[in-house]
Amino acid sequence: MTSRNTQRTVIIGVARSDAHAVANHLIAMRLREAGFLVVNLGVCTPLEEFAEALSAHPDAEAVLIGSLNGHAYEDLADLPALRAAGRLHCPVIVGGNLSVGSHKDGDERERLLRLGVDHILDDADQIPLLLDLLHAARVTPLTGV
């Protein structure tokens, strides 16, 4: 068991209009197994609640938002406003099934990145690796990131 002071914290949840619970729980399990303190906000979580959770856990390394119903862009539309208000200042990672329908032309990724999403993942198994990279970058700041 990692000691309380050094345990790494992440905030996870599913986007506002999305009620898919299974992947959310699997990711929580996977991260807990890897030693993280996981603050899981669960399904149907508005961006505002992610921001509140980050205020309550200011040491959280990242906010991970799952979106499987194709409404990621609409559900995250408040991100620029929250960031402008000085909130949700940690890396925001989005993953899942990002656009409606099976046709994915990369446009959806572009739109989410423009909104201020920091990272987009296609595979939940990449999450620990990305968190480790972000963690390392935080401990030893890289230039030009």
Partner 1 sequence: MSDLPELDLEPRVAAMLPPWTEIMQYIRKSPKRQTVEVLRAAAARGRPVVQPRCGVGGHGEMRTLLTTLEQRGRPDILTITIDSFTRLKQFRSAAQTLQRDPAGLNGYPLVTHGWRRGRELNELVDAPIEVRHGSPDPRELFAVALASGFTSFEGGGIDYNLPYSKDVPLARSLAAWAQVDRLCGVLAETGVIVDRELFGTLTAVLVPPSVSLAVCLLEARAASLAGVRCLSVAYPQGGEVHQDIAALRSIPVLARRYLPEHVEVFPVLHEFMGVFPRDPDVADALILYGGLTARLGGAAKVINKTNQEARGIPDAEANVAGIRTTALACTDLLDFVRVDEATVEEETYWLQREVAELVEPVLAAPDLSAAIVEAFTDGRLDIPFSASVHARSEVIPKRDSTGAIRYLGAGRLPFSRPTLRRNEQCLRVDRASLSGRLIDEIRSDINFFVQAETRSQAARLATRAAPTRSAVTGPGGAR
Q: By the criterion CB under 8 A, which residues form the site for partner 1?
A: 19, 21-23, 25-30, 33-34, 41-44, 124-125
Find the shortest distance in angstroms from Cβ 123 to partner 1: 9
- For partner 1, which is the closer residue by CB, 44 or 115? 44
In this complex, which beta carbon is closest to partner 1, that of residue 49 or of residue 111? 49
Q: Is 25 known to be catalytic?
A: no
Residue 131: closest CA among 41, 48, 30: 30
51's tokens? 């921001």
Residue of 13, 129, 31 lying closest to 76 (CA atoms): 13
18 flagged as catalytic: yes
Determine the Cα–Cα distance for residues 141 and 27; give it in Å rounded to an integer.
27
Identify which of residues 26 and 136 has a Cβ nearer to partner 1 in the complex: 26
Q: End-to-end distance of the chain based on CA atoms, in angstroms?
A: 32
List, by residue number, the catalytic residues: 18, 20
